[in-house]
Structure formats: C-alpha cells, structure tokens
Structure 1
Amino acid sequence: MCNHSHQPTTIGTSLKDGIHHDKAHFRWSRRQFLKGLGLAASGVTMGLNGRPVKAFHTSPLLQKLAGAKSNRVLVLVQLSGGNDGLNMVVPYSDPEYYRVRPSIAIPGSDVIPLTDHTGLHPNLAPFESLYGDGVMQVLHGVGYDNPALSHFTSTDVWMTAGSANDVGSSGWLGRYLEASNPELLAAPPDHPYALQLGSGSPLLFQGNTSSLGVQFPNLSLLERFVEEGILFDEEFVPDTPFGHELSYIRSIANDSFHFAESIQTASETGANLTEYPSTNGLSGNMAVTARLIRGGLGANLYHLNLGGFDTHSSQISRHRSLMDQLSAAISAFMTDLATDGLDQEVLVMTFSEFGRRVYQNGSGGTDHGTSAPLFMFGGGVTGGIIGEQPSLTDLAPGGNLKHGIDFRGLYSSILRDWFGLSEDDVLDVMGASFTPLPIIDSTFITSSESVHLPVSARLTGNYPNPFRNRTTIEIELDRSQHIRLEIFDLQGRNLTTLSNRMVSAGTHRISFAAENLPSGSYFARLTSRSGSQTHKLSVIR
C-alpha cells in the first residue's frame, strides 16, 4: 500500500482553522471564477486567451483522432469542492461507518444496494437502472500518492496528471493541444475538438505556452453566441475611454472566434430527444452537450462542472441536493443519447479534486480528505465495480482513506482503450507508465498500429447477444497457452469458471448456460499470458 505519511500540511482545510479556512476558500473561489473568465493570468476575457482557435487544432492528439475519423467522445463532469465519496457510495454494512458519522451517515434502509456491502445515496436513484443495464461503472478508492488537501493544488494535480510535489503547468489533455505543426495554421479545421461549459478549471486544456481550450463559463453566454453569432456585447459598455477600449477588445475577440459557424450549425441541427430538468444547471450544460454531439460538431472532449461539494457544514441537505442534480442530469443525458445509439460513442466520467475525511466534524459536515469513488457511464464500459472499498479503520494520517486506484491509470486507460492511442503516445502524455484498468469492454477497444504488444489471445464476443438461456463465447488463440474464462455479475462476483486449462491454438467456442440467472448485464473475463479482456453479456427474460 502506498505511503501517505508525508501528506502536505495545509492550513485552511477544516473549519477549526477559522479565518485561515475562510481566506483559503475565498482565494480558491475567486481563482476559479477568474479562471472561468480567462482573467486569472492573461487578462484576456472569457477564456479566449489570445488565439485559441489557431493553436487548438494543431494538437497531435486531436490530429490522431481526426485522422482516424473517430466519433468517440469523452465527457468529464467535475464535482468541484471535494465530494464526500462515503455518502455517495455508502459502505452500509460496516458498523464503523455509523460510529464515525453518528448524525450524517446514510441509513442502511435508505441506501440503494449494489452489493451486500455497498450501495448508492438514495438521491442517486436514477442511476439504479443504468447500473442494472451495465452502462454504469463504479471505481472505488481513486486517488494518488501523498495527496494534497488544498483545493488549489489537488485540482491542479487532477488536471495535469501530476503530483502534489510536481504539479506542472499544462493539462493532461492540453499537452496535446499545443501548436506543434505550424503548417496547419494555413488550413485550420472549421470545428473545435474540445469544449468547456461551466466554471471549471481551464487548466485541463492548458498547453505548455498558452491556454488553448474553447470555454463558455456559463450557459447564457453560449446561448447568446448561438443566437447572435457573437460572444460579447460590443455596445453595452460605459461611455468612457475605458468603455470604448473594452468595446474594441470585444470586437476583436468576436472576430477572432473562427468556430462560430460550426457551433451554431451543430446547436441548430442537433436536438434533445428527452426532457431535462429545467432548474438544474448541470442538466442545462449536458443538454447542450447532447445537442452538439447529435448535431455533428465533431468535438471529442467536453468538460462540465457541478460546484458546491465543499460540505464543511450542514452536509446532509446540501449533499442530498447535489446528488439529486448529478443523477438527474446524467440519467437524462444517457437516456437522450441512448435514443439513437449515441451512448455507444460517448464515455462520461465524474471526478472531484479529493474526497472528505472519514469522521464527521462538529458542524454536521466533513473536512477535506483524500481518495473517493468516481462513476463512469456509457455503452462501452464494462459495468459493475472496480476496486475495493477502502478500509475505515486502516487509515492514512489525519483520518483519511487510503487509495487503491491511481487516477492516472484511469486516464491512461481512456487514452489507450477509448481513443486508441499507442503505448508510446500515452507515455508521452502521462509522463510515466501507470497500471491500466479494465474499464472499456473489449469489443469497444480501439487501437492504432502500435497500441499493444502482440496479443496471443482474444475474446472476440458471444452469440447470440442478448440471449435468454444459452450463448456461445468465442476466443481466438495464436498459440497454445493456459487460459481462464470466467463469468462475473455487476457486483464483481464470480458466478462460474468456464475454462481454466491449457488450450491449443485456434478458434474455440465455449457454451455458457444462464437459465438460472435473472435478466441483466454480466461480463465474461478472459485471462491469458496477454493479460485480461472483458466482454459484456446481456440476459433477457
């Protein structure tokens, strides 16, 4: 287990720090606000940051995606403030959870059970059907070594894929948004490949020299842009020299935004095929995202934000509302996309800069913590649960949870298995090698010519699928070897082992009988000398 004994000591991470806590949160909130406006460093308004359009499309990553004509989309939903993972994915069978949280623990009778030990917050009820259908995945205990408890630092760590001791100044996606091919400036694409909606940190798309992402800090700004074709009102300024200069700067910004037509066209062409909650800000941004995807904008990356998770006090009611907003927005989004099969091309991931401490504080809340669970959604996920619920008694210093999954391994798996980057390209982005995770169903894994080392065993699928009582699973072996083929449910429980022996080279078909299983999603896992592969099975009654 990783050593957490050297966590940075940060004044202002809990209410007991008094005025230091208030000042820390004021600075963090102000920085997030200014960054959302693009004012934090460069002074250029509304996230345009100079020439984002010209620099943005010269990214090697985006060139690879465009060259492969990839329709794959990643939607990142940031839960800003530090989400309390223990009250989101609840260890309801552990008496220690109720002992250390006597007044804020979720009653076991209210929990939506996923396994005999863990379940979802009751206001995440819309997720129950997504989980049951195998299009939702829970990852336990996600974090990193020697975690920072500062909003500033930990947010930057997640954005850069760095560490608390070496955050860096460029985002893990922004490193591929650098202007490294000047010849493309003469013929830039007519659409963006990445979009940020909301007030989240733009560091995600920060390159080594400039901020390259296309950002809309609020939905009203995007709506005005779609309706009028401009970002900023050039007329509504003070009749002063400063106002005249501001109008001039706004006119330059409006004229320099080359993606205007493509965003307008996609918004007008696309439509929402389901109803979204009208009073939910995240839902509004997700509805726009669905319209832009369906309208053919061509962006592969979206970054959305839901704030308010810094629950130092009165957590029960505040967190309940946030869980309701999150589940309503994402469930509507997934229902919308599933209507015409777009859910097969979109991967959604939630994340927060840190979790909360195990113990409740004296104000009915929780202070800054470390690891936490996160969710993934989409037709391409393996479904179920990955990782183990962190121990509530074997804690890191400060009463914090130890992490079991490094978030950078998750990033690496997305780049490799979802977007099809080669191992060398993933290493260039991440700066180091991290343990991959089986988050993408094997039938959805894309690859470039150099993505993997030669694979000697392949789990090619099953037929029929969906099926009622029996299906045939097919595997291909390049050489004789020992394999293990197992069937798991969405809780990660091994239901049966179909094969665990030496098998000769060639194509093999193995029958699986499911007469006694209820309808739902399951997955087959093939383990060989090449590693592990998974494939989703659907039983219908």
Structure 2
Amino acid sequence: MASDQLTRRVMVARLAGLGLAGLLPAACATQTAAPLSGSVGQRTLVLVELTGGNDGLNTIIPIADPLYRAMRPRLAISAGDAIPLADGLAAHPSLAALMPAWRARDCAVLLGVGYPQPNRSHFRGIEIWDTASDAGEILSDGWVARALTQHQRRAIDAVALGRPYLGPLLGPDVAVVALANPQAFAASARTVSVPATEAHATRPAALEHVVRTQARLSAAGATLQQRLQGRPAPEGFPRTGIGGQMATAARLILAGMDVPVIKVSLGSFDTHVFQRATHARLLRELAEALAAFRDAMITANRWDDVLVLTYSEFGRRPQENGGTPGNADSPGTDHGTAAPHFALGGRVRGGLLGRQPPLTDLDGQDLRYTQDFRSIFATLARRWWDISPDRVVRGSFDPVPLFA
C-alpha cells in the first residue's frame, strides 16, 4: 500500500480491533490522545462526568425555601427524607453513602457552578466544559490536556474508563488510553503493530505517531501486567457500572501505575421524564461508588494523593415539567444552567463552597450561576499541579478555597 493511501479510516480500523483507536492524533481520529506531562508527586485527579445534565436542585436541596416546593410539587424531596447539611441546604437521601466523607470534612460541595451565556445543548454544553472555553469560543484541546503538557511525559498520561469519550483529555500529544479493564489493555498493547511494508521515510505523520506511541504502550502494557499480577480487585465496591469503573481506578492507583488523570462517567442524567426514580438510582450509584473508592484510598494511605471532581454539561431548570399526561410519576426537568458539584480527597477543604443560586432571582427560567467552573480549573492548576492557571484556562478567575 502506498503511503498516501494509508488513510485515517484504515488506521482507525487497524487499531479499533485492539480498542486503541483513541491513541491516534487529532488529525487522524475523532478520539485522540494528548501527552499529559508530569503531575506533582504521586497525585491523581479522578474526573467523574455525570452525563446528560444532572439536576442540581434535587441533589443539593434548598430544603428551607418554600419556592422549592412550589416549583416542584411532585418532584420535591421531603424535608423528612433529605439529609441536612448547613445553611438551609440538604442532600438527596440517595447520597447517604457520602455522609461519612462530609462529616470528616473531606467532601466539598461547590455551589452554583456555571458560566456566562450558558448553552443548553448537550453537545456544545459538554464541549464548553471539556475545553474550558467561553460560550462563544471554540477550542480544540481539552483543559486537562493543556495542563498535562506542562509536566514530565508518562508512559500513560491519562486513562478514560467506561464511556470511550476523552473530552477534557483530548489534545495533540497526550497518551490517553480508553480502558475497559487493565488485563485487556496489557494484552492488546503488546500486539499493536505497524505494517512492515511501509518504508520509514514515506510513512505519513499519523503512522509515525502510532509507531512512536507503540513503544510507550508496549512498555505500559508490560508494566500493567507485572504490577497487577497477583493483585486482586479491591473489595467493597458496588456491582454497578460506576462501581466497576471506580474499582478499576483504585486498582490502577494501588498498583503504582502513576497515571495523573483518570476519567470515569455515569448517566444518563437527562431526566426529562420519570426523574424521581431515575435520579435517585443514579445518585445512589454515584455515592456508593465514591464511598468505596474513598475507603480503599484511606486503607492504602493514598487519600491525600487523590482528588475526585464531578462535572456535567449543565444543570436543570428549577420548575418541573408536566411529564406524561395522566401519569403522576412521570414529571422531570428540562435543560438548565448552574448546578452544584462534588470534590473529595484527603486535601480537600470540606463543606459548602460558594453561594446557592437563589430561587427568587432567576435568569428567565434558569438558575443564575454564582461561580465560574473555570475558577475551579484554575485552582487545580495552581494548587494541585503547581502550574500557572493561564496554561489551563484563558482569562483571570478568582481562586476557590478548595484545599485545606
């Protein structure tokens, strides 16, 4: 095959069978890898994407506000069921598994997170979060990828578990692996090969990238196999999708793989109808998985080295919708704007951070954001990675008192 005939489609096909198509550069694949340069010491950031747009108002509830119940006559969580937090706010009862972390002050709730001129499209909304862009700005690389390029190169810069969507990890040179399970990656990484008929001088740039990446992947696969051999999966994790992802994240960390960023996902939180049961189940799965992960890290004396951060493309409107006519259990909520998010870790300053958006001061039908999500990313750059925030976000944002 002539070098100019080795197209993107061919390369994706050759790597897709190994589950490694995400390792192609941006010019060669829609899901790419970018080099995550070194992190500080042994620290790992675990990003938890809540896909579909989580309803923040039923996650962290203004339980003392009568407007909450007026806007949600069928979806409102009762005061007797909600878990009291502070300042008139309460947590959804399905978050009970997170309460030990809350009481230990290593769980923070970041209130009213959003940005100006919010976009309610799933696709554009998550793109704004992934790239840390303005609402009207298009950026091509993820905010995490930009941070990672400031550090020493690793064999594996980041790992995406569950949904094979790289999002904030996407960048031109970051080595990101979409990983279903460590053993499968260790086996497939050793079998990646490049056609011997291609002369080095005539290889297209995409193929050259694969050749260079193969050596890193082979070494990473061998290291994975060696470190995981004889190490059982951690116990105590729920048998759910997010539970399995967090168990794999724990296993990678405890095996000493030195992966600076791990991304997991849970969803769908797009609860236009039948929200009550769906939202309760998803929040319970989230809380139980994060609690099991916290326990595993504390037991291994690694909790200070880990930061867990949730995010979602948007929140949902405070007013419930009509649902399905004649079905009292069918109401849901439509795409909205600001929402709370969680941060957990041994170095986290626990408690409520920021200000709850008041129901008396809506932006049309939506909550007004009270802190820009890029303030959180800028804080991570400075405090977690010890790099200049302007390498990660464009513009100046006030720091968030996230760390103790």
Shorter chain as denominator, the TM-score bin is 0.7 to 0.9
Q: Measured at CA, do residues 93 and 213 of structure 1 come closer, stay the same or move farther in structure 2, by a change above 3 Å?
A: farther
Deviations, residues 325-352 of structure 1 (Å, cap 9, x unaligned):
1011000000111002111110100111
Q: SS at 1:303's partner residue? A: strand
Q: 1:414 maps to which residue?
A: 380
Q: Aligned runs of 1:474-485 on 2, under 5 Å?
A: none
1:82–1:352: 8 Å Cα contact kept in structure 2?
yes
Alignment pair present for 1:212 and 2:174:
yes
Q: Measured at CA, do residues 135 and 270 of structure 1 come closer, stay the same or move farther in structure 2, by a change above 3 Å?
A: farther
Q: 2:160 maps to which residue?
A: 196
Q: 2:391 maps to which residue?
A: 428
Alignment pair present for 1:361 and 2:321:
yes
Counterpart selection for 2:93 from 122, 129, 142: 122
2:24–2:33: 8 Å Cα contact kept in structure 1?
no
In the comparison of the two structures, how many residue pairs are matched? 362
Aligned counterparts of 2:226 and 2:134: Cα–Cα separation in 1: 40
Aligned counterparts of 1:431 and 1:377: Cα–Cα separation in 2: 26
Aligned counterparts of 1:42 and 1:392: Cα–Cα separation in 2: 49
Aligned counterparts of 1:429 and 1:136: Cα–Cα separation in 2: 24
What percentage of aligned pairs have identical amino acids? 35
2:107–2:343: 8 Å Cα contact kept in structure 1?
yes
Counterpart selection for 1:438 from 395, 401, 404: 401
Structure 1: segments with no counterpart, 5+ residues? 1-37, 235-250, 442-541
1:202–1:211: 8 Å Cα contact kept in structure 2?
no
CA shift at 1:267, angstroms? 3.2
Alignment pair present for 1:350 and 2:350:
no
Structure 2: segments with no counterpart, 5+ residues? 1-7, 194-209, 324-330
CA shift at 1:274, angstroms? 3.6
Q: 2:264 maps to which residue?
A: 304
Q: 2:225 maps to which residue?
A: 264
Aligned counterparts of 1:311 and 1:354: Cα–Cα separation in 2: 12
Task: Give the root-mean-square deviation of aligned CA atoms.
Answer: 2.9
Bigger radius of gyration:
1
Q: Compare 150-159 and 112-121 and name the one that shifted more.
A: 112-121
Higher relative contact order (CA 8 A, sep 6+): 2
Q: 1:478 maps to which residue?
A: none
2:72–2:319: 8 Å Cα contact kept in structure 1?
yes
1:266–1:292: 8 Å Cα contact kept in structure 2?
no
Query: Which has more strand, going by share of residues?
Result: 1
The normalised TM-score by structure 2 is: 0.82
Aligned counterparts of 1:327 and 1:404: Cα–Cα separation in 2: 25
CA shift at 1:275, angstroms? 1.1
Q: Aligned runs of 1:126-137 on 2, under 5 Å?
A: 126-137=97-108
Counterpart selection for 1:82 from 19, 33, 53: 53
2:33–2:176: 8 Å Cα contact kept in structure 1?
no
Q: SS at 1:76's partner residue? A: strand
Aligned counterparts of 2:226 and 2:50: Cα–Cα separation in 1: 30
CA shift at 1:429, angstroms? 2.1
Aligned counterparts of 2:384 and 2:232: Cα–Cα separation in 1: 25
Q: Aligned runs of 1:521-540 on 2, under 5 Å?
A: none
Counterpart selection for 1:100 from 68, 71, 82: 71
CA shift at 1:196, angstroms? 1.0
Deviations, residues 297-343 of structure 1 (Å, cap 9, x unaligned):
01111111112100000000100110111011000000111002111
Alignment pair present for 1:377 and 2:347:
no
Q: 1:488 maps to which residue?
A: none
1:232–1:254: 8 Å Cα contact kept in structure 2?
no
Aligned letter for 2:320? Answer: Q
Deviations, residues 87-140 of structure 1 (Å, cap 9, x unaligned):
111111111000010101111100000025111100110111110011101111
Aligned counterparts of 1:163 and 1:308: Cα–Cα separation in 2: 25
Q: Measured at CA, do residues 139 and 177 of structure 1 come closer, stay the same or move farther in structure 2, by a change above 3 Å?
A: closer
Aligned counterparts of 1:432 and 1:260: Cα–Cα separation in 2: 39
2:336–2:366: 8 Å Cα contact kept in structure 1?
yes
2:98–2:291: 8 Å Cα contact kept in structure 1?
yes
CA shift at 1:192, angstroms? 1.1
Aligned counterparts of 1:174 and 1:255: Cα–Cα separation in 2: 20
Aligned letter for 1:426? Answer: P
Aligned counterparts of 2:119 and 2:103: Cα–Cα separation in 1: 35
Deviations, residues 406-454 of structure 1 (Å, cap 9, x unaligned):
1101001111111222xxx32122122211011011xxxxxxxxxxxxx
Q: Measured at CA, do residues 116 and 404 of structure 1 come closer, stay the same or move farther in structure 2, by a change above 3 Å?
A: closer
CA shift at 1:199, angstroms? 1.3
Alignment pair present for 1:142 and 2:113:
yes
Aligned counterparts of 1:149 and 1:213: Cα–Cα separation in 2: 31
Q: SS at 1:102's partner residue? A: coil
Aligned letter for 2:340? Answer: P
Q: Measured at CA, do residues 269 and 76 of structure 1 come closer, stay the same or move farther in structure 2, by a change above 3 Å?
A: farther
